[in-house]
């Protein structure tokens, strides 16, 4: 018989490891302490993964498949993938072990040692759930000019045929981004979103997580994530019908108390395998074809999934393991404690950390331009802010979190992912949100007690990184503007804030 391992982010019936499943085969699924604790995951992330794993095992059993499922609290659980495969090999004495390549480098390394360790043939099959294979990505982006995301995305449109008509992009242009930067008008209420009431399996997992991981970040109370394929498809349909039409317009908007706006809320399902990238893009394209969503929304959505998601995965696999070790801007500051509590007077930060605590979710601009922007401007050590993002989001896995944080947020890769750092002053946050209105700081004030910290931290960031960034043509305008300013008071206030100086009214990283 063949032993087939299915990991917690491989919950897909068509998974390559399940292809050719024979009557005598055993599917192995294991809840292990090592995975549950390599970062202090948000409680909702743990609950989502364990519940989805248990439901997936149940659906296989209902098909008549033999599933050997080891729960976290099983008395003999060794706590690691390797230990649990070893125990299963001893139990079942398989002639072969079949796995789908792990999505992350750390686990693939482990898998590659299993044939020698267990003394039996181990087949590591490709993960074919992505549009672009690892080999195709490397070949497609080898040339410098075509290595950037926009070129990669256009080529993926051509190859997939998504939003293409007679060889040309549907709607006459590749990219509708300029239309997709509106702030939310007063009075426009985003739709209520479909959330799911926990069933008995989920309630059991919630109790286990609450008991075993009580000290972890995040609330469990509002848990409403889909945990089965059926529910994930319902969540996708809810997005397509109710939010997609305005997804494009308000893609970058932020509003206090509006946790989900018009976003997809599908990344946790794409990343654990309950939904497939092809079907979510096809659903959006069908909405456009039926006249139910405009092109700027549908193209904006397809670009995120077919473009960005595939691109960051490609960067991860072409650059690892060296990628994680770079620190281009030499950032070394410790992560402030308020990232774990939300207790700061910067309202934008407390709102974005607050939604993260409540739901395990924040949308792209909250992650990039608020919590990420602050980490960049304050010079937080990449490894520390990466560990935070990997822990706190229900959709966070190393292969997708790392390029987004290390590359896009920290610019620690020296521009491999994005050609310039996404640094911004308070004016950007003020334009795209309603956070500043209720803040203890004044976004219009550049310096002095009460000035928005994002303002002087922004200029201080440019000053501190001038030797590295000033030659970047995309930073030319920022440095031209800096040339008009008196640097000394900016640096003094930024340093006092970063040191937590109590003389600075409402100031400091310590708060």
The binding site for ligand DLZ (CB under 6 A) comprises 7-9, 30-32, 35-36, 41, 46, 49, 102-104, 107, 397
DSSP 8-state assignment for residue 148: S
**How do strand 96-100 and strand 2-5 relate by DSSP bridges?**
parallel
Cα-only R_g, the chain: 24
Burial pattern 467-485, b for ≥16 Cβ within 10 A else e, equals eebeebeebeebeeebeee
Q: How far is the CB of 82 from ligand FAD (least distance, A)?
A: 25
429 binds, among ligand SF4, ligand DLZ, ligand FAD, none (CB under 5 to 8 A by kind): ligand SF4
Interface segment toward ligand SF4; rule CB under 6 A; list 225-233, 296-304, 318-326, 433-441: 433-441
> If binding means CB under 6 A, how many residues of this protein chain bind ligand SF4?
14
Tell how strand 168-169 and strand 164-165 pair up. antiparallel
The residue to which tokens 């997936």 are assigned? 56
Residue pointed to by tokens 């008071």:
489
User: Measured from the CB atom, is 31 or 238 closer to ligand DLZ?
Assistant: 31
> For residues 435 and 350, what is the distance between their CA atoms, to the nearest angstrom?
10
Binder among 81, 454, 458, 459 for ligand SF4 (CB under 6 A) = 454
Q: Cα–Cα–Cα angle for 389, 376, 258, nearest 5°?
A: 55
Structure tokens belonging to residue 176: 């509708």
Sheet holding 2-5, edge to edge: 66-70, 26-30, 2-5, 96-100, 122-125
> Taking the complex as a whole, how short is the minimal distance between the CB of residue 385 and ligand SF4, in angstroms?
18
- Residue 179, both tokens: 């239309």
User: What residues between 102 and 141 interact with ligand FAD by CB under 6 A?
Assistant: none
Q: Which of 124, 400, 452, 490 binds ligand SF4 (CB under 6 A)?
A: 452
Does 271 participate in binding ligand FAD (rule CB under 6 A)?
yes
Please say which residue, 36 or 281, places its beta carbon nearer to ligand DLZ.
36
The pair of three-digit structure tokens given for residue 405, joined into one six-digit string: 């944080």
* Residue 253 interacts with which of ligand SF4, ligand DLZ, ligand FAD, none, CB < 5 to 8 Å by class: none
Give the interface segment with ligand FAD, choosing from 36-44, 214-222, 287-295, 405-413 (CB under 6 A): 405-413
The owner of tokens 């074919």 is: 128
Task: Report the SS3 class of residue 164.
Answer: strand
Which of residues 443, 457, 490, 498 is near ligand SF4 by CB under 6 A? Answer: 443
Among 122, 205, 265, 348, binds ligand FAD (CB under 6 A): 265
Residues forming the site for ligand FAD (CB under 6 A): 263-267, 270-271, 301, 304-305, 308-309, 312, 363-364, 367-368, 372, 389, 393, 395-396, 400-401, 404-405, 408-409
Residues forming the site for ligand SF4 (CB under 6 A): 346-348, 426, 429-430, 435-436, 439, 441, 443, 452-454
């Amino acid at each position: 018989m063949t032993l087939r391992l299915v990991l917690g982010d491989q919950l897909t019936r068509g998974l390559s490891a399940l292809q050719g499943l024979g009557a005598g085969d055993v599917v192995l699924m294991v809840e292990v302490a090592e995975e549950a604790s390599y970062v202090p995951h948000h409680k909702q992330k743990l609950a989502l993964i364990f519940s989805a794993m248990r439901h997936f095992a149940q659906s296989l059993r209902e098909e008549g498949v033999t599933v050997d499922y080891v729960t976290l609290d099983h008395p003999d659980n060794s706590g690691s993938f390797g230990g649990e495969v070893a125990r299963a090999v001893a139990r079942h004495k398989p002639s072969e072990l079949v796995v789908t390549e792990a999505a992350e480098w750390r686990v693939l390394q482990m898998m590659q040692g299993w044939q020698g360790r267990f003394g039996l043939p181990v087949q590591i099959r490709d993960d074919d759930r992505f549009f672009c294979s690892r080999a195709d990505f490397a070949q497609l982006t080898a040339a410098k000019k075509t290595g950037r995301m926009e070129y990669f995305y256009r080529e993926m449109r051509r190859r997939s045929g998504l939003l293409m008509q007679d060889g040309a992009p549907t709607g006459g242009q590749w990219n509708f981004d300029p239309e997709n930067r509106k702030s939310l008008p007063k009075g426009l209420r985003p739709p209520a979103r479909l959330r799911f009431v926990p069933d008995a399996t989920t309630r059991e997992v919630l109790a286990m997580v609450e008991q075993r991981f009580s000290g972890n970040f995040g609330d469990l109370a509002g848990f409403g994530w889909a945990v089965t394929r059926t529910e994930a498809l319902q969540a996708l349909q809810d997005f397509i019908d109710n939010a997609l039409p305005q997804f494009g317009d308000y893609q970058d908007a932020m509003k206090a108390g509006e946790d989900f706006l018009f976003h997809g809320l599908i990344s946790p399902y794409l990343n654990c395998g309950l939904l497939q990238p092809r079907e979510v893009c096809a659903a959006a394209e069908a909405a456009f074809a039926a006249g139910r969503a405009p092109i700027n929304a549908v193209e904006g959505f397809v670009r995120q999934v077919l473009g960005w998601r595939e691109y960051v995965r490609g960067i991860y696999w072409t650059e690892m393991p060296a990628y994680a070790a770079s620190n281009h801007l030499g950032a070394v500051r410790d992560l402030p404690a308020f990232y774990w509590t939300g207790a700061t007077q910067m309202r934008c930060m407390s709102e974005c950390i607050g939604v993260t605590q409540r739901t395990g979710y924040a949308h792209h601009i909250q992650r990039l331009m608020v919590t990420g922007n602050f980490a960049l401007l304050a010079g937080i050590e990449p490894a520390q802010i990466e560990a935070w993002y990997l822990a706190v989001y229900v959709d966070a896995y190393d292969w997708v979190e790392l390029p987004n944080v290390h590359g896009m947020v920290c610019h620690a890769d020296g521009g491999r992912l994005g050609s310039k750092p996404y640094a911004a002053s308070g004016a950007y946050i003020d334009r795209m949100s309603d956070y500043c209105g209720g803040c203890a700081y004044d976004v219009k004030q550049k310096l002095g007690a009460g000035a928005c910290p994002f303002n002087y931290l922004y200029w201080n960031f440019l000053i501190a990184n001038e030797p590295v960034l000033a030659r970047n043509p995309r930073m030319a305008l920022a440095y031209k503007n800096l040339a008009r300013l008196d640097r000394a008071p900016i640096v003094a206030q930024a340093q006092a804030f970063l040191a937590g100086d109590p003389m600075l009214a409402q100031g400091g990283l310590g708060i």
